[in-house]
Structures are given as C-alpha cells and as structure tokens.
Amino acid sequence: MIIAMTEITSSVSAAPGLVKNTGIDWRHWKDRIATVSISLGGLSVLGALLLIFFYLLYEIMPLFTSAELNVADNYPVPAQVSDAKPLLLAVEEQAEVAMRLDRKGRVVFFNAADGQVLVNQDLPLPAGRIITAFSIDTDANHVFALGLDDGTAIIARHNYKLSYPDNKRVITPSIDYPYGTQPLRLSDSALRTLALRSSDSGLLIVASTDANMVAKRLSREEDFLTEEITTTETVLTMPTIDIPAARIFLTPDQKWLFDISKNGEYRLIEMSKLTVVDSGRLFANTELSSAELLLGGNALMVGNTRGEVSQWFVLRREGEQPRLQKLRTFAEHNDAVRLIVPEHRRKGFLTIDSESRLGVYYATSQRQLVEEKIDSSAAIAMATSPRANLVILENADGQIKTWQLHNEHPEVSWSVLWNKIWYEGYPEPDYIWQSSAANNDFEPKFSFSPLAFGTLKAAFYAMLMAAPLAVCAAIYTANFMAPALRTKVKPLIELMAGLPTVIIGFFAGLWLAPFVEKHLPGIFGLFVILPVSILLFAYLWDLLPKQWRQIIPDGCHVLILLPVVVGVIALCFGSSAWVEKLFFGGDMRLWLTNDMGINFDQRNALVVGMAMGFAVVPNIFSIAEDAIFSVPKHLSFGSLALGATPWQTLVGVVLPTASPGIFSALMIGMGRAVGETMIVLMATGNTPIMDANIFEGMRTLASSIAVEIGETEVNSTHFRVLFLAAFVLFLFTFVINTVAEVIRQRLRVRYGSL
C-alpha cells in the first residue's frame, strides 16, 4: 500500500505540468462551448426578431403598392347596335360577359374579351315611343328604368345565370321584367329624369317632367297559400320644385331625394314628409357635367365643367335641420368631368374627362390612385366589373376598349390610419376603428389612433397600479425583510407570474368588473384609507415602549400589518353601501353619469388597471428585488458605519446602485402591459374610443388583432391592416426597449463606480 502510494506520488511529481495543462485545456474548452452557446442563443433571438420583422413587412407591403392600369382588348361596337348611343354599359361578376343598352331600347350581351355577340334582345317599347330618361337602381341588383316621351316607364333587369355543364363554366345572360312588360304610367308628359329604388317589398320611382315632379310607390305582397303576388300602386304628391332638374337621385332607404339642376343648384327633399328641407348650390360659375351616387347611395359624387369632383352627403346633427354637406374635394381634372363610375363593392370611383383622361380614386382615403390618358377619342360610356378589375369603355369612334385594373388595397393611407376622417353619416370628423359591418355597403374605418390610445391607456393604468406596489415590495423584501421570511415570500410572488392571463382576464371580466361597479365607494375609499391607515399604525407602533416592539423580530414587522390591511379592506367594503346611500343617492354609478357627466362602463380602465397590474407586479418585483439585493453589502455597511441611517443608506446608496435594474424591471413590466392581450380583451369591453376617463373602456392593438384576425378574409385589406397593427406594436415596443436600454446603460455608467 505504501509502495503504491509512493509510486503514484512520484508519477504525479514527475509530471506536474501534465495535470495542470489538462485542467487548463478542459476549462478553456468549457469556456469556448459556453461562449459559442450563448452567442448562438443571442444570434437566434436576433434572427427570430428579424424574421418576424421581415414577415410583417412582407404582409403589409401590398397595402402601399400603386394601382396599375393595363390595356387588355380593343374591338368595334357590335354591329347590331352600333347606330345608337349607349345608355348603359355593364359587366357581370366574372368579367367575361358585357352588356350594352342603347337609346333605341336594344340590348346586346357580348364577350368582354373580343366583342363576340352572345344574345340580342329588344326591350318592349310601345310603337313610336322614344326613350327620354334612364336610371339604374344599383349595380348589384341590375334593376333599371327607361322613361318614355308619353310619361310611362319600363322597369327591367339584366341577369346572368351560371351553370357548369361538363365542369365548364357557362354564363347565360337574359333580361327579365320584375314588374311586368307593360309600361308604368307616371305622367301625361315626357319624363326628363328618373330615379328608382327597389327592394323585396316593392319599388319607389320618381320622375321629373317639364312642369313638375311625380312619384309612385309599388308595393308587392305575396299570398302564402297561393304564392300569388299582388302589386299595389300609390301616387305620392311631390312638392313644387323651382329649378329644372338635370339629375335626380334616391337614397337606398328611400328617405332622401337629391334634385340637381344644370347650373349646380340643388334641392334636398325628405321623402317621408315630401317636403324640401334644404337648398343651395353645389358650385358656382360652372355647370354640372356628371353626377352619381357612391356605393351605399348615401354620398353624392358631383363633377362639373371646370374639372372638379366633390363628395356630398346629408348631414344630420341633433337640433339642426338636415342639410347637404360637402365632404371632400378630389384632385381636379383639366377639363370637364364627363363620366363618374362608382365601384360596386368599395367606396372607390372612376372618372373620365373630355380629353379621355381616366382617374381612379378612393373616397375615404381621398387618394387619386391612377391618372392616365387612355384614348384619343371622347368617351361616351364606361363601366367597371363588380370586382373592379376590368374597365370597359366605348368611345365616339364606335370602339370598345378594355383595361385590366390592379387596385387591391386603396382604402389605406396615412390620413386614414392616423388623422381624423369625416365619414358618411357622421356629424363631424373623428378617429374611428370599425373594420366590418353586416351590410355590403359598409365604409371601412381603419384608424389606428383609438387603438394606440387604448394601448397606452391600458398600460398607463396598469403601471399606475403595479409599479409602486412592485418596487416598494422589492425594496422592503430585499433590504429590510428577514432572510427566512424572504425565502418564502419571494418565490410565492414569482409564482404568480406563471398564472395564465386568460384566467386573470376571465376573473376580471366576470367577477371583478361587477364587484367594482357594486362597491365603487369602497374601492376609492380603499385607495385613500389603506395608505393612511398603514402610516398611522406605523406611527402608533413607534410610540410603543421599546421592549414591546422588540417582541417582533427585525424584518418581520410586515406580519403585524396583515391584520391592519385585512381590517381596512373589510371596513371599506362593508361600509360601501352605507356610504353610497348617504352621499350618492344609493347609486354612485348613476351619480357619476347624471350629476358629474362622467360616462361609466362596467368593464373599464379601472378594472383593467387592477387586473393587469396584478399580472405585471411579479415581473417588476422579481427583477427589481434581484437588483436591490445584488447591491454589494460593503456599500451598505460602509454607509451605516459612517453614521447614515438605514433610510439614508437606502436612498443614497442602495437605490442609485440598483437603479439600472429597477429601471429595467419597470420597462419589462411596461412591455408586458403594452403587449397584453387576454386581460384587456376580456375586461375592457373592446370599445375603440379615445377617452382618458378611467371609467370608460378601450381597445388595444393587441386585442384587435386577437379578436379580428380569425374572422378576416386572407390577403384582404382588413387582413393586412391587422398585420400593420402588429407591425406598429412591434415598432412601438422596439423603440421603448431601445430607449430603456440607453437609459439603463447611462445609469449603469453613472452609478457603477459606487
């Protein structure tokens, strides 16, 4: 045994460098492995962030691509109808079949690509009668009316039936007559202008003659047993109009009639009362050249001979008479606007002037998307397909030309996203987020301002609740609490960070919100009485004899505060009903609303602040407590040895040294509050409004994405706008974190030498 040990010792002694070098090499490799692993982890995080950044860019870039107009085909007008000017050009859904109605009542359906005639049909005009007026209801229902020189009107509709024989799509066009082929008598004299609106229950048609204005309502009733349809005619007595009508328009709800003269004068008629409620001029020193109703029929687009295009709508404000209000003006043409063609499914429209310059616009964003001279001959008719991807035009030379229009996302602009916009039917410009509705005539409203405001509002109230509690708790736990108690309290608080936010949101929405509403006096009393009670108790405790105070070990004084806290909470909520009855008439919510003029929503910023503050506290507490606890003890002991009190040591030494960590904790908590989804989704009411009122709800960027992304059409404007909202949130958090890191580094440099 002794000999063996001696040999081992001798061998080790003989080669001491070998053992030492082996240890150094192994430690070197471990350092290299750790360095490479940490570097790879950091690069992976940066790579993931870059991938997210570029993927968001990939999704949102189509929003900002320019519209394009490309020539498609050119062919002569079908020979059967080339001798009469068109009243109507139309294209069906698939942009394969086009329709042309001329002034002799002849209809031809032809292939939109090459002009090949598919169907010819003559409308049942009485012998010798001449078409003197024309109007179309909407491009969606295809109903139109022809006014004749004997005071009658013919109502017809063009249809397109889809079939798939042998798995090949076949479109069969036709004309039908929903109110019969017999002309409808409106007057004894020639009809000069027409306007109609049809629905499942009937039709309203208004016409003007040289002498007056006439109207008739057709009501349809179906017998449920025999399925026989009965039509009832009602003549409406129209008010006397003192201007010669050049164009008249009915709104879809059949409530308003616009009567416009050639020189720009207008009369606004309320059809429910059959009275003129507003009159005036659309423009001065020029003449009307074109006018059409925008999608939805509530906004009137007017073009004049000076080349100006303007948008008007009926403004209704409480306590004021309805009036026609100018909404916006678009870029002027150099010549008279000959045609205005609204899109079928969006608030866009096309214009063409007397020099055949085509303009493509979007009303809400007030953008001119395309301006291009497309023909050398004057345009006399133009139409666009329902999907707004094909433009078809007939010129004075008897040629039909088509263009492919690529215009996917005209709804988005900087002003739409961040500025106030005056939307149709609203009393004034406002910030509004309303991305969808139940009808197809909806005007999308994509303002990010209320969402960004709601995000900051939710984060502000959450930090207002969480930051003081978390930082003060971290200071006490790290600097004053007994070690044995700290080892139990700190893990317990950190364990709260693992609680799913959906549970907190569910709890806040279903229990906390009604509880806060029911105990408002108790809640506000708690915010005031609890801090005062703790300070008062501390003062009284300090007055006790020293031997009594020494019963509680140092660092465990927080335990004697628990009964005080519980007692104050019980007192505040127990007396809440009594206080509410005594000072607020039994209902503080009604008192706030009626007496103070403060709106109260059950799910509001107060509830969100309390719930989200509860979720943010563990993150801030854990990081701040580690930063304070990591301050070298020799700094604290040196300060105390020099005569400083524990409080002076905390304020002058510990907190400045730990300030970079505390600031990081607050910024991480802020980031958590800004990006929080489920709590604000379930506890705010999701109302996209800009109101700092603590009793009002809000809607955040994150909650909007969570609510709406699953219901949107892939690659639609709404879909990409939600990705843009995610990009804005990404940039917002990136900027906040970058600024926070710069400040943290400066704090670290400033106080790192302590």
Which pLDDT band holds residue 420 (cuts at 50, 70, 90)?
A: very high
Residues 83-97: what's their mean pLDDT?
A: 89
- Arithmetic mean of pLDDT over the chain: 87
Residues in Cβ contact with 244 at an 8 Å cutoff, skipping those fewer than 6 apart: 261, 262
| 10 confidence band (pLDDT: 50, 70, 90) | very low
Q: Cα(440)–Cα(203) distance, rounded to whole angstroms?
A: 20
> Domains, the chain, ranges and CATH?
125-147+180-281 (2.130.10.10), 448-751 (1.10.3720.10)
Task: Say if CB 280 and CB 265 are below 8 A apart.
Answer: yes
**Which residue, chain included where needed, has tokens 């639609």?**
716
Query: Tens digits of per-residue pLDDT, 235-285?
Result: 998 998 888 999 999 998 889 999 999 999 999 999 989 999 999 999 888
Decide: residue 184, CB within 10 A, 0-12 exposed, 13-18 middle, 19+ buried: buried
Question: 732 pLDDT exceeds 60?
Answer: yes
Q: Where are the alpha helices (DSSP H) in 575-716?
A: 576-583, 588-590, 605-629, 633-641, 646-649, 655-675, 678-683, 701-708
Which of 178-187, 209-218, 329-338 is least confident?
329-338
pLDDT, position 533:
92
8 Å CB contact between 273 and 238:
no
Q: How many helices and strands in the chain, by DSSP H and E?
A: 19, 31
Query: What is the average per-residue pLDDT within 534-552?
Result: 86
Share of the chain above pLDDT 90, in %: 43
d(CA 563, CA 556): 14
Give the confidence band of 692 by pLDDT, cuts at 50, 70, 90.
confident
CA-CA distance, 284 to 567, in Å (whole number)? 76
Model pLDDT, residue 270: 93
Q: Give the integer Cα–Cα distance in Å for 103 and 85.
A: 6
Count the Cβ atoms, other than its own, within 10 Å of residue 587: 13
Provide the pLDDT for residue 529.
Answer: 92
Q: How far is CA 196 from CA 136, 369, 487, 637, in A?
A: 7, 31, 80, 91
Mean pLDDT of the 119-148 span = 90
Structure tokens at 736: 């906040």
Inform me whether the pLDDT recorded for 12 exceeds 70. Answer: no
Asked whether the predicted pLDDT for residue 118 surpasses 60, the reply is yes
Residue 92 has pLDDT above 90, yes or no: yes
**Which of these, 360, 305, 288, 357, lies nearest to 330 by C-alpha position?**
360
Whether residue 82 has pLDDT greater than 70: no
